[in-house]
Amino acid sequence: MQNNQNSINVPHESYLRLFIRFLRFGLLAWGGPVAQIAMIRQELVDEERWIPNARFNRVLAVYQALPGPEAHEMCVYFGMIARGRFGGFLAGLGFMLPGFLLMFALSWFYLKYGISSPFFGAFFFGCQAAVGALILRAVHRIGGHALLDRSLWGIAIVSGISALLGAHFLIILIFAGIAYILLKRSYYIPALALGILLISGSAFYSMNVLSFGIVSKTVTQTLASSESPSLISLFYSGLRSGLLTFGGAYTVIPYLQHDAVEVGRWMTNNQFLDGLALSGILPAPLIIFATFVGYIGGGALGALALTIGIFAPAFSFTLIGHKYLERLIENKALHVFNDGITAGVVGLISATSIGLLKAGITNIYALGIFLLSMFLVYRWKSKYAVLGIVFSAGIIALLLKYIGTLQ
């Protein structure tokens, strides 16, 4: 098949061969999106020349501006230009399948042995502290790319404060997008009024929640409900999260944490951290931890429902019509709105990380593992760094347990 815009010969592969190619990518998908995209670029662009490098950069820019894991979306794109929409589906499925199957198996193992076993309890204790460091690094990295001026910094700060006061994340994201459009057009007073309204409304809501004795956010983060969510609600939670994941896989954390820990209460913050830790040691997009969240909420079918929901947008954007998305992304107003939303997401992750750090750092030993992990996160540049940091933190906690220091 030829690429219509660049007259490049894409090799005609059978559906089976195409699926196996991207299945291999999935099995080697260590190191996060940067390493995954570099792997795809090296084989398909640098070595086999499916498309020119300039074309690859333009396509990647589109997917980086859209929600969802961009490495997975790039696989769907390459599959589609090779063998049409079904080829795109097979490529995306092949890339995500190894991570899904591994996370599915680990979720079963976690529920059967991890909660009650002192051995695995100690291991996950260390992993939780390391994940806290990874989240803070992600906030720093995403913020460094997203907060390019004082207006975006202000939006991120207001968003974070509002999230801590209990504002719904959808309200925060809408505020962030509109506020940045107003600021770019020099409508400073309306933008300031919008920010004041959001914070004051959030504070009023928070005070009323505490005054009338409604279960507070702090309590809901530590107590899990005995009532399981329906498969439809799990699918919807995944779909909504998949549509709101701007700026990388870490940005999905506040949405799923909101649904699973704060509102649905089918898992605790500690379990949520365990799921993030597991995803960090797998060859898969980080977003695969959604499978764990779904498994805790609804077992095997729950894992499938939430995973389908969260990956559906990543498939649909390309399969429905990538060329139309390229035209849409040229809309300057939409680009500004998206930049504002990304700043709002930075604020949301920052607020969410506070609760997760409280859950993961519970004593001096956890603090020590966290600080060591923070050092390694900034110093260790290998694509296996996340795997090494999370696994090493678990081993350190096991050693502390073995020598009797960690109870």
**pLDDT 10s digits, 281-294:** 788 888 899 999 99
Neighbours of 65 (CB within 10 A): 18
Q: Identify the H or E element spanning 314.
A: helix 289-329
Could you tell me which residues come within 8 angstroms of residue 145 by beta carbon, excluding any fewer than 6 positions away?
247
Reading phi first (left if > 0) and then psi (alpha if -120 to 50, else beta), residue 117 is in beta
Q: Map residue 397 onto helix, strand or coil.
A: helix
Q: Kindly indicate the confidence band of residue 90, based on its pLDDT and cuts at 50, 70 and 90.
A: very high
Coil, helix or strand for 28? coil
pLDDT at 179: 92
Residue 270 neighbours by CB distance under 10 Å? 19
Q: Determine contact, residues 82/10, Cβ cutoff 8 Å.
A: yes
Q: What is the mean pLDDT of residues 364-371?
A: 91
Distance of CA 188 to the CA centre of its chain: 32
Q: What is the DSSP string of 324-363?
A: HHHHHHT-HHHHHHHHHHHHHHHHHHHHHHHHHHHHH--S
- Percentage, residues of the chain above pLDDT 90: 32
Nearest 10 degrees: Cα torsion 314, 318, 321, 323? 120
Is 224 or 175 the better-scoring residue by pLDDT? 175
Instruction: Identify the band that residue 407 occupies on the pLDDT scale cut at 50, 70 and 90.
Output: low
Q: So what's the pLDDT on residue 324?
A: 74
Residue 219 CA to residue 209 CA, distance in Å, equals 12
Domain definitions of the chain by residue range: 2-94, 99-402
Query: Residue 5: what pLDDT?
Result: 46
Helices (H), 49-149: 53-65, 70-109, 118-146
Let me know how many helices (H) and strands (E) the chain has, helices first.
16, 2
Count Cβ atoms within 10 A of the Cβ of residue 227 and give its class: 0-12 exposed, 13-18 middle, 19 or more buried: exposed
- pLDDT band of 9, cuts 50, 70, 90: low
pLDDT tens, residue by residue, 153-177: 999 999 999 988 888 878 888 899 8
Q: Average model confidence (pLDDT) for the chain?
A: 83
